[in-house]
Amino acid sequence: MRKTTLLIIDDEKVLLENVAELLAGIADNIVTCDNPFKAIEVLKEGHVHCVICDIFMPGMNGVEVIKKTRELKNEVPFIFYTGHGNKDLMLEVAKYGALDFIDKPNMDGLEHAVVQGLKLGLEQGKQPPDVESDLKDYRKLLAKLGD
């Protein structure tokens, strides 16, 4: 089974550590970023299966983070975990395909969402079968059998 990577983005370092510790048994690898710009660099590498992101951070908010991620053609599942949730923000991140929007400090809801997000991220990471290559191999085999 492939190993899962979870990215947690929040400017509150204590919260980052607490959430990472709580979810250590769920994800194989946890990357934390207290800076959204650093998080974008991690997302450019494309090896993340799920993201937990705060909304309000200095320099770049969570809406901008998911928007920039989608511009990179990266469809990694995003879970927004914030103490400042409102309907307008929920609608805004939903436009970019956010998986869930959870109010702090709902840790049970966060755990459940991360399990779902990692499963979805693993599914998205699977490569579709190379039908053209399989078809060529099949034709070669048929040609050999016909000789």
Residue 110 contacts residue 19 (beta carbons within 8 Å): yes
pLDDT of residue 92: 85
> Is residue 135 packed enough to be buried (19+ CB in 10 Å), middle (13-18) or exposed (0-12)?
exposed
pLDDT in tens, the chain (147 residues): 578 999 999 999 999 999 999 999 999 999 999 999 999 999 998 789 999 999 999 999 999 999 999 999 999 999 999 887 677 878 888 888 999 999 888 888 999 999 999 999 988 875 444 445 555 665 776 677 666
Helix (H) or strand (E) holding 111: helix 107-125
Number of domains, the chain: 1
In the chain, count of helices (H) and strands (E)?
A: 6, 5
Residue for token pair 């809801």: 109
Domain that holds residue 98: 5-146
Q: For the whole model, what pTM was predicted?
A: 0.81
What CATH number is associated with residue 43? Answer: 3.40.50.2300
